[in-house]
């Protein structure tokens, strides 16, 4: 992992969520105009999203500035129980006034995971306003990431071809999980002013230790960014 992450250790999962939500709210407040948030799926961000959608943060945030993307998605309909979009809608987006045109879901209605990936790649480049990413001008302001017990992050799973992709921003991931996934690749995830991992629970302790030791076999360890790297962990995950 580069650069060395700033590690924020909370006493509990609830405190982790509160600290991460407050941090995101502060990032939105500090943004002069629009702010591009690249969200993670999975279980850990749910409470963070609920807190952002509840008072006092809901009213304090200028949601008209916010653009929403997803770092990964299951190739299932948007209303499917496994959909990251659905989880985000239920916990956050159906409760806050983000203009609909600023919500950019992965197009899971495409004919195949590969087509969905290619379309989302185009969406990212159009939003960025240039065909290639410039290190000095990140695509996202904030990228949230989770950490799977196998070391995956977004849908970058150990041993999958997506880990080696450098010329596309988005890839299909077929065969790593029962359902196909769509994931941003390292170059897209890395193009963020701030990357924040959310890691909670004792089940993540060993994998977090290995990520912090830069175990190169783990996809999460291979995130490299010109931006800042932060880890929100609870004591159960971090130890101590
Ligand atoms: O970054 C991500 O990581 C998770 C694993 O997180 P968890 O909170 O469910 O343990 C992953 O599956 C998710 O889709 C992704 O965005």
Atom of ligand 1 nearest to the CA of 197: 1
Domain count, the chain: 1
Distance of CA 224 to the CA centre of its chain: 14
Task: List, chain by chain if needed, residues with CB within 6 Å of any ligand 1 atom.
Answer: 40-44, 71-72, 84, 145-146, 148, 153-154
Q: Are 239 and 200 in contact (CB under 8 A)?
A: no
Biggest CA pair distance of the chain: 48
CA distance 88 to 39: 9
pLDDT in tens, 150-165: 999 999 999 999 999 9
* CATH number of residue 215's parent domain: 3.40.50.1360
Could you tell me if residue 1 is inside a domain? no
Residue 99 is assigned to a structural domain of this protein: yes
Structural domain harbouring 27 = 6-238
Residue 109 in any domain: the answer is yes
Tens-digit pLDDT profile for residues 170-193: 999 999 999 999 999 999 999 999
Residue owning the nearest CA to atom 7 of ligand 1: 42
Nearest alpha-carbon partner for 139 in 202, 69, 50:
69
Measuring CA to CA, which residue among 102, 99, 101 is closest to residue 39? 102
Q: What is the ipTM of this complex?
A: 0.92
* pLDDT mean values, one per 10 residues, the chain (240 residues): 87 98 98 97 95 98 98 98 98 98 98 98 98 96 97 98 98 97 98 97 97 96 94 95
């Amino acid at each position: 992992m580069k650069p060395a992450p700033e590690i924020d250790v909370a006493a509990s999962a609830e405190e982790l969520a509160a600290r991460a939500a407050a941090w995101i709210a502060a990032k939105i407040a500090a943004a002069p105009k629009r702010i591009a948030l690249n969200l993670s799926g999975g279980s850990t961000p749910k409470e963070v999203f609920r807190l952002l959608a509840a008072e006092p943060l809901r009213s304090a945030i200028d949601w008209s500035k916010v653009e929403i993307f997803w770092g990964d998605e299951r190739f299932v309909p948007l209303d499917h129980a496994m959909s990251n979009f659905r989880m985000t809608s239920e916990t956050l987006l159906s409760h806050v006034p983000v203009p609909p045109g600023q919500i950019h879901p992965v197009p899971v209605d495409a004919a195949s995971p590969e087509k969905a990936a290619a379309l989302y790649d185009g969406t990212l480049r159009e939003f960025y306003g240039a065909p290639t990413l410039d290190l000095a001008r990140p695509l996202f302001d904030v990228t949230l990431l989770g950490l799977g017990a196998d070391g995956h992050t977004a849908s970058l799973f150990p041993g999958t071809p997506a880990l080696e992709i450098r010329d596309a921003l988005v890839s299909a991931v077929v065969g790593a999980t029962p359902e196909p996934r769509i994931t941003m690749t390292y170059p897209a995830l890395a193009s963020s002013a701030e990357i924040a991992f959310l890691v909670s629970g004792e089940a993540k302790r060993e994998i977090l230790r290995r990520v912090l030791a830069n175990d190169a076999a783990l996809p999460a360890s291979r995130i490299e960014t010109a931006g800042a790297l932060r880890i929100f962990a609870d004591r159960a995950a971090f130890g101590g």
